[in-house]
């Protein structure tokens, strides 16, 4: 990949950060594929105002993109011991139907087996149960968001 591509990556990351702020989002994650062995994965997050990036190995010299000054390493929600992860790819729904109250909210106590949210996959509504009893500490997805297998949905402690 040429140096010009890496300069465009920096501009792309800056544009993502602006998009995050302009739309009051908490996190964006994007993967750009330039070729078979040349990708750029970017995650921009408000949690601690961090910007992280990772480039797959590419032929030739490695790209150099300076990290944001004083950026603390972002905590990976999927590695949290109380993380509830998605068992499938689909679309998240936080309530049974539009206008209905949400299944759970931050600070709410849940029992093992309580419905946390619904993931629609292949036109099927799949109720995602709480794997354990506890308190919902963080909800990491928004209503209508697309999720992938293994993506963290919420934290229950």
Q: How many CA atoms lie within 13 A of 35 on its CB side?
A: 8
Q: For residues 64 and 14, which has the higher predicted lDDT (pLDDT)?
A: 14
Name the band, by pLDDT with cuts 50, 70 and 90, for residue 14: confident
Ordered domains of the chain (ranges, CATH): 3-58 (no CATH), 78-156 (2.40.50.100)
Instruction: Note the Cα 74 to chain centre separation in Å.
Output: 12
For the chain, percent of residues with pLDDT exceeding 70: 72
Residue 77 has pLDDT above 60, yes or no: yes
Q: Residue 155: is its pLDDT beyond 80?
A: yes
* pLDDT over 70 at 70, yes or no: no
Distance CA 61, CA 74 (A): 27
**Please, which residues bridge with residue 40 across strands?**
32, 55
Spatial separation of the C-alpha atoms in residues 70 and 144, rounded to whole Å: 33
Task: Give the H or E element holding residue 6.
Answer: helix 3-22
DSSP code, position 102: B
List, in order, residues 6 or more apart from 135 with CB less than 8 Å away: 107, 108, 109, 110, 156, 157
Q: pTM value? A: 0.51
Q: Which DSSP string do the residues of 42-88 spell out, in sequence order?
A: EEEETTTTEEEEEE---SSSPP--PPPTTPPPPP-GGGSTTEEE-SS
């Amino acid at each position: 990949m040429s140096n010009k591509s890496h300069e465009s990556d920096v501009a792309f990351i800056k544009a993502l950060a602006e998009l995050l702020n302009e739309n009051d989002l908490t996190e964006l994650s994007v993967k750009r594929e330039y070729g078979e062995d040349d990708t750029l994965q970017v995650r921009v997050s408000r949690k601690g105002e961090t910007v992280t990036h990772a480039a797959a190995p590419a032929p030739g010299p490695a790209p150099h993109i300076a990290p944001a000054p004083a950026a603390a390493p972002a905590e990976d929600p999927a590695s949290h011991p109380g993380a509830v992860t998605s068992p499938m790819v689909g679309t998240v729904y936080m309530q049974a139907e539009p206008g209905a109250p949400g299944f759970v909210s931050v600070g709410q106590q849940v029992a093992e087996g309580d419905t946390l949210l619904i993931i629609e996959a292949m036109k099927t509504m799949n109720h995602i149960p709480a794997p354990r009893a506890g308190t919902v500490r963080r909800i990491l997805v928004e209503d209508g968001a697309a999720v992938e297998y293994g993506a963290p949905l919420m934290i229950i402690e």
